[in-house]
Structure 1
Amino acid sequence: MNYRIALGLALFSLSTASFASSLCQEKEQDIQREISYAEKHNNQSRINGLNKALREVKANCSDDKLRADHQRKIAEQKEEIAERRRDLAEAKEKGDADKVAKREQKLQEAQNELKALESRDY
């Protein structure tokens, strides 16, 4: 029975995905897909959290707010990259090869996260 419900929700989400006219609607659809996945795996605590998130989005979401939040995340990630660069420079200055390698990896991870953020449609 749960499988049929999850399948129905998944199909509904897929059928409506192409008709999303706003970022908030897309966000609602993403949450619905996650709920379907959680139902498929009988993860009730995840379902409860996602239903709460869905109610919040429906009550408070605006496309302008989503865009502003996204720009804030990008700015924060750029600050993270700057901090990682400072850490790397400090490690290079000390000549600790192990720390240099770790700092380079952290910097690369931060840069990859920024690329992922910038590639989103917000």
Structure 2
Amino acid sequence: MQFFPPLAIFTLCSVLAAPLLAAEEPTELTGCAAKRQAISNQLDIAKAQGNSEQQTGLEKALDEVTTHCTDASLKRERENKVLDAKHEVSRRQADLDKAMKKGDPDKINKRKEKLAESRKDLQNALDELDK
């Protein structure tokens, strides 16, 4: 009988520890794997809602990503988006500077709004770069 209590305690600890080990957060997907997972999630939603047209489009998109996506090409594509966004911010800043020299308050406000929008697009592109 002396052996039973330690065995019971060990078994109890093992049973209680299993959910804690299973609750460990999985690593976040990046690159093409994240893209495939996002499309798969949308596909599951489309299937659940019975949206066959969206389902067909998502199945095609998933097939394209599976066939053609590489992490290197995806990174290159995202880097190009960042470069394009930086050029757009520069162009919008030049437009704002020109409007400020002319002194037209309406144009200045419009240019400020466009510049803010371009900066937001740049930030989004930078955020996507890390995914």
TM-score band, normalised by the shorter chain? 0.7 to 0.9
Aligned to 1:33: 41
Question: 1:89 corresponds to which letter in structure 2?
Answer: D
Distance 2:101 2:46 in 1: 48
Aligned to 2:120: 112
Question: After the TM superposition, which residues 32-51 of structure 1 pair with which residues of structure 2 at under 5 Å, given as runs?
Answer: 32-51=40-59
Question: 1:72 corresponds to which letter in structure 2?
Answer: N
Residue 40 (structure 1) shift: 4.1
Aligned to 1:7: none
For the pair 1:66 / 2:80, whether they are aligned, the reply is no
Distance 2:47 2:108 in 1: 44
5+ residue gaps in structure 1? 1-16
Change (3 A) 1:46 1:98: farther
Residue 46 (structure 1) shift: 2.6
Residue 119 (structure 1) shift: 2.0
Distance 1:78 1:57 in 2: 27
For the pair 1:98 / 2:106, whether they are aligned, the reply is yes
Distance 1:95 1:21 in 2: 49
Q: TM-score, normalised by structure 2?
A: 0.70
Distance 1:37 1:99 in 2: 44
Q: Percent identity over the alignment? A: 33
Residue 82 (structure 1) shift: 0.9
Aligned to 1:23: 31
5+ residue gaps in structure 2? 1-24
Distance 2:39 2:72 in 1: 19
**Deviations, residues 46-73 of structure 1 (Å, cap 9, x unaligned):** 3222221111101011000011101000
Work out the number of aligned pairs and report it: 106
- Name whichever of 81-90 and 45-54 sits farther off: 45-54
Distance 1:20 1:119 in 2: 15
Q: TM-score, normalised by structure 1?
A: 0.75
With a CA cutoff of 8 Å and minimum separation of 6, indicate the structure with the bigger relative contact order. Answer: 2
Change (3 A) 1:108 1:46: same
